[in-house]
Amino acid sequence: MDIWIDQLSFTYPAGVTALRGVSLKAMPGESVAIIGENGAGKTTLVKHINGLLKPTSGQVLVGGWNTREYTVAQLASRVGYVFQNPDDQLFASTVWAEVLFGPKNIGLTMEQATERADAALRAVGLIDSAQKHPYDLSISQRKKVAVASVLAMQTPMLVLDEPTTGQDHNDTELVGQIVEDLKEQGRTVITITHDIDFCAEHFDRVVVMAQGMILLDGPARDTLMQAEVLAQTHVEPPQLMRLSEQLNMQERPLNVQEFIEFWCA
Amino acid sequence: MNHNIELNQVTYTYPGITTPALTDLSLAIPAGQFCAVVGPNGAGKSTLAYTLSGFIPHFYHGTLQGEVTIAGMNTRDTPLSELVLMVGLVFQNPFNQISGTKFTVREEIAFGMENLGVDRQEMINRCDDIMAKVGIRDLAQRSPLSLSGGQMQRVVIASVLAMQPQILILDEPTSQLDPIGSREVLLTIRELASTHAMTVVMIEHKLEWLAVYADRMVALADGTIIADGLPGEVLADEAVWSRGVGRTRYTQASHQARMNGLWPKGRSLAVTLEQAVAGFQAAQTTYSKKS
Amino acid sequence: MSQALSLYIARTSGVHRLHPITKLALAGLMLSGGLALPGPWLIYAFLVVVVVPLSVFGGILTALIVTTVRIVLPFAISVFLIQGFLWPGGTLLLTIGPFALKNEGLLFAIASTGRILMVVTSFLWFAFTTRPDVLMSTLTQRGFPPGLSYVIVATLQIVPRFQARATTILDAQQSRGLNIGGSLPSRARAILPLVVPLILSSLIDVEERALAIEARGFNHPGAKTSLLEAQEASWEPTARWCIAIVALAVVGLGLWLR
């Protein structure tokens, strides 16, 4: 599913202008990371993708659907949104019921919903906790339940809001694996993240935002090396890019494997 | 030795749970040390933070075995209201740490001091001083509720520091902050800790700068200490990685280089940018001579 | 982010500079006049002679009028209709179809509205000119239990936070396809996914917040100090006694006139 954000501007009712004429196009299957300082407008932008916010001016088209003409519940069949705090959505008495909630809402049959819920729980490694009460799990496990409940909807597009905040090393790798699986399945993945290394390793395209505008938009390799622009929005290049720069290497590596390859050359 | 914090064979189990969160844990932290605590989720890091500040056993009941001594006081025998004079605690969610009764940031910072009965002029001086140090002077008249997560967390840190604790415990204090913001907060705490000889215990997942600023690193897994030493040593230890403690990309890169036989022999793996640059440059020289 | 729930309007007026307890005394005077004096015209006279000048001195007259009308108008309309037209017996003033407007009913309605006006304006006058946290710290320093004052002032900030959290949960559940419009059964089904996270996460929040204020020495024994100092002019304590005497006189007058 593709998305076209066209000259989007948004002002909150209280008077704060959070987005100023933002334009962005993503093709089906692209993986896009949005980075930038707190208050840059990242969350405001992605909330327009599933219709939580409607543009003050400009438009947002999700697979041809103008978000102004659809409710959030309707757009939920196209865009899955994983919120940062799992406690904002967990309400069921079992993990299983929680993960079934989304698929049932978007009109799947019980059979289809069960199949997808099962796959989603396996993807996050919590299939054995299916009958537990979500609040009996730790906060990082609850975060995985929240992710699973959106994965189960198998939407063509996903928005992940800070999926690695508060996660430890193994959990972060798991999220990375999930992103790779989604990419393989041809789904469009859009994420907001502060973890620049995670961003470099899993996202092909990076959009840098500051003060309601896009500063940079391009392939990860190109955008993430522009240290001065990134510094304007309180972000640093990934660890390996800084290393390769200090070693006067020509190429910019996105992950450890590439670094070793480029260094050996 | 003058240890500010001493844990002696501490085992703790939360009420209603069968498995202990901490098992037979012993730890001694000298005054003025900046000690980082790392480990996977569920290792007991937050439990440790609560134990070090007396909230275990006074706030979270449950079974506490062993002895915990903070600034010479045994936490079991000393009331919590006295322990909080010695120990400042900052945890992850800034929204739940603001008092909820103050209308400006300046007053918010004074909240703790008011509770302790600090003299008014002294409060004014400390507020101004700490706001300057933490870099939030421009937020002085703002309502705490109107701040972003990152700004709010800085206000929380300032409010705790204004109480002038001997020991500062921080449980993932930068989770709401962007990368440069995180680094700035870490640096501020490092500087304040040195100038005020404050003991700092910081739990973090973001390893890169922690490795640079911390004096010592303790790795926790399954309620016990699995490594304790210099950050450079702990994070370069393969045994530690296998228990779920993270590592920086520099460590991963140097490890991969070593596996390919390209890392200088006898050199420990890089943990920080500096070490990585030095290591790879040395490797360059060594191996270009060979070829 | 959100703003605290507060009626306070910041101004640099003579009234704002008064000590909270003095203002409390003045509000008490307004209230005593409004409730003790026989109606209806004395009540309105009191309103004009006491409340209006004090509001002008506070720079809040417009806000007071607007808010008072908003609050009192629905009451006034209903009391006029009910008491005016349904008064049993009494002197007839005019007839509108089957409904008869009685003089006694009309006077009663005017008096009732007058009393409500006095109650509302005295409360609003006080709330518009007094910071709740300054009031609370003043009362605490005079012996009010600190836990209670914390709860009262904290509620002002927590309510909007609660509302913001409720909105976030609504967003999250809608994003999973929850339909909040539509038929009654579907709306009923939407209640649990909205209410449960609100309650559970609020309980977690409350626990964390209790820990946080404990960590900031809230239960430290001994007197608390205050950064903010309510200013008190030297003549104010005497003035408060005078106000109390006047209030008693007004109540006495009211009882005597009945």
Q: Which residues have a Cβ under 8 Å from the Cβ of B271 and sit 6 or more positions away?
A: B207, B211, B231, B232, B235, B236, B247, B248, B250, B251
Residue among A243, A247, A260 minimizing CB distance to B260: A260
List average pLDDT for each run of 10 residues in chain C, which is 258 residues long: 67 84 89 84 88 88 89 88 79 77 84 89 88 83 83 79 86 90 80 87 87 91 84 86 90 84
Q: Where are the domains of chain B?
A: 3-247, 248-291
Q: Are C128 and C141 in contact (CB under 8 A)?
A: no
Complete DSSP assignment for chain C: -------------HHHHS-HHHHHHHHHHHHHHHHHS-SSHHHHHHIIIIIHHHHHHHT-HHHHHHHHHHHHHHHHHHHHHHHHHH-SSS-EEEEETTEEEEHHHHHHHHHHHHHHHHHHHHHHHHHHHS-HHHHHHHHHHTT--HHHHHHHHHHHHHHHHHHHHHHHHHHHHHTTT---SS-HHHHHHTHHHHHHHHHHHHHHHHHHHHHHHHHTTTT-SS----SS-----TTHHHHHHHHHHHHHHHHHHHHHH-
Q: Hey, is the C-beta of A155 within 8 angstroms of any chain C C-beta?
A: no
Q: Which residues have a Cβ under 8 Å from the Cβ of B160 and sit 6 or more positions away?
A: B88, B89, B90, B112, B168, C215, C216
Residues forming beta bridges with residue C101, ordered by sequence position: C94
Helix, strand, or coil (residue B272) = coil
CA distance, residue C58 to nearest chain B CA (Å): 21
State the pLDDT at residue C1.
Answer: 40
- What is the pTM for the complete model shown? 0.85
Please choose, from the candidates B158, B150, B147, B202, the residue with its C-alpha nearest in 3D space to the C-alpha of residue B176: B150
The pair phi, psi for residue C118, each rounded to 5°, is -65, -45
* Start-to-end CA span in chain A (Å): 39
Tokens of B74: 């045994």
State the pLDDT at residue C57.
Answer: 87
| Contact assignment for C197 to A88 by CB distance below 8 Å | yes
Interatomic CA distance for residues A55 and A61, integer angstroms: 11
State the pLDDT at residue C3.
Answer: 61
Tokens of B203: 């739990």
State the pLDDT at residue B291.
Answer: 47
The pair phi, psi for residue B280, each rounded to 5°, is -70, -30
| Contact assignment for C175 to A153 by CB distance below 8 Å | no
Res A21 pLDDT > 80:
yes
Q: How far is CA A206 from CA A6, A165, A209, in A?
A: 18, 18, 10
The pair phi, psi for residue B217, each rounded to 5°, is -130, 135
Residues forming beta bridges with residue B229, ordered by sequence position: B217
Helices B120-134, B105-115: inter-axial angle, 10-degree rounding: 130
What are A245-261's pLDDT values in tens digits?
A: 999 998 899 999 999 99
Tokens of A265: 């050359």
Domains and CATH numbers, chain A: 3-78+155-264 (3.40.50.300), 89-154 (no CATH)
Q: Which long-range contacts (CB under 8 A, 24 or more apart) does B58-63 make?
A: B58/B83, B59/C210, B59/C211, B59/C214, B60/B14, B60/B15, B61/B15, B62/B12, B62/B13, B62/B14, B62/B15, B62/B17, B63/B11, B63/B12, B63/B13
Q: Are C134 and C228 in contact (CB under 8 A)?
A: yes
Q: Which residues have a Cβ under 8 Å from the Cβ of C169 and sit 6 or more positions away?
A: A88, A89, C194, C197, C198, C201
Which residue from B minimizes the CA distance to C208?
Answer: B96
Interatomic CA distance for residues A113 and A153, integer angstroms: 8
Res A2 pLDDT > 60:
yes
Residues of A in contact with B39 (CB under 8 A): 168
Q: Residue B96 carries which side chain, given as an amino acid letter?
A: N
Tokens of A174: 């798991």
Residue B234 — pLDDT band, cuts 50, 70, 90?
Answer: very high
Interatomic CA distance for residues A8 and B90, integer angstroms: 39
Helices B179-196, B120-134: inter-axial angle, 10-degree rounding: 130
Give every strand in the sheet of A188-192, ordered side by side.
Answer: A79-82, A157-161, A188-192, A31-36, A205-210, A213-219
State the pLDDT at residue C185.
Answer: 82
Q: How far is CA C3 from CA A5, B81, B146, C156, in A?
A: 31, 31, 7, 9
Interatomic CA distance for residues C84 and C95, integer angstroms: 11
The owner of tokens 């995180």 is B182
CA distance, residue A237 to nearest chain B CA (Å): 10
Helix, strand, or coil (residue B132) = helix
Count of B-C CB contacts under 8 Å: 113
State the pLDDT at residue B289.
Answer: 58
Mean pLDDT of chain B: 90
Q: Hey, is the C-beta of A52 within 8 angstroms of any chain C C-beta?
A: yes
Q: Residue C26 carries which side chain, given as an amino acid letter?
A: L
When scoring A47, A49, A54, A89 by the number of chain C Cβ atoms within 10 A, the one with the most, hence best to mutate, is A89
CATH class of B3-247: alpha beta
Q: Hey, is the C-beta of A186 within 8 angstroms of any chain B C-beta?
A: no
Residue among C165, C174, C195 minimizing CB distance to A73: C174
Q: Are A90 and C201 in contact (CB under 8 A)?
A: no
Q: Which residues have a Cβ under 8 Å from the Cβ of B29 and sit 6 or more positions away?
A: B3, B4, B5, B6, B35, B199, B201, B216
Q: Are A205 and A30 in contact (CB under 8 A)?
A: yes
State the pLDDT at residue B181.
Answer: 83
Interatomic CA distance for residues A21 and A5, integer angstroms: 10
CA distance, residue A43 to nearest chain B CA (Å): 13
Q: Which B residues 26-85 touch C at CB under 8 Å? A: 53, 55, 59, 80-81, 84-85
| Contact assignment for A39 to B148 by CB distance below 8 Å | yes
What are A117-167's pLDDT values in tens digits?
A: 999 999 999 999 999 999 889 888 999 999 999 999 999 999 999 999 888
The two most distant CA atoms of chain A are separated, in Å, by: 58
When scoring B178, B186, B251, B252 by the number of chain A Cβ atoms within 10 A, the one with the most, hence best to mutate, is B178
State the pLDDT at residue A119.
Answer: 95
CA distance, residue B92 to nearest chain A CA (Å): 9
State the pLDDT at residue C202.
Answer: 85
Residue among A168, A197, A234 minimizing CB distance to B205: A168
The owner of tokens 């189990």 is B13
Res B1 pLDDT > 60:
no
Q: Where are the alpha helices (DSSP H) in B172-272?
A: 179-196, 207-213, 231-235, 238-241, 249-259
DSSP tag of A208? E
Residue B290 — pLDDT band, cuts 50, 70, 90?
Answer: low
Torsion of CA B43, B48, B49, B54, to 10 degrees: 150
Q: Please give the ipTM for the structure prediction.
A: 0.89
Helix, strand, or coil (residue A182) = helix
What are B116-158's pLDDT values in tens digits?
A: 989 999 999 999 999 998 889 999 999 888 888 888 889 999 9
